[in-house]
Amino acid sequence: MDEGEKKIKQEDCNEDNLGAGILTLTNKRLAFDKTRSRMMDFSKQFGDTVIDVSLENVTKTWKEGLLIKKVCFTAKTDNGEQIFKFGVFNTKGWLKSIENAISEFKNQ
């Protein structure tokens, strides 16, 4: 993490296209690290950071789903605008935390 960066929220989750990993929200960015786990010994290993988006590049946030709920956001990346959808436990809490972090980031 960069100097002055603070972790707000972190959760083990699943992204629709990228698979299993850990979603992290800080006061400066949203990041998603791929993970690999083994059932045999219940170990989990961090992989590569596949999403690393500054909060200034997040253009839209929402939640969706009736049975399988997801927190979603659209972000400007090197490949253009992309949509990411994460299956987290508390979609309402994540959405509120992301929106609060974005508003505080813009007010700095």
Nearest to 102 by CA among 74, 65, 63: 74
The answer to whether the predicted template modeling score (pTM) of the entire model surpasses 0.85 is: yes
SS3 content of the chain, % helix, strand, coil (to 5): 20, 55, 25
Model pLDDT for residues 12-41, shown as the tens digit of each residue: 999 999 999 999 999 999 999 998 776 666
The tokens describing 41, both together, are: 């010994």
Model pLDDT for residues 50-78, shown as the tens digit of each residue: 899 999 999 999 999 988 999 999 999 98
Tell me the backbone φ, ψ of residue 32, rounded to 5 degrees. -135, 120
Class of domain 7-102: mainly beta
Cα dihedral 18/30/54/106 (nearest 10): 140
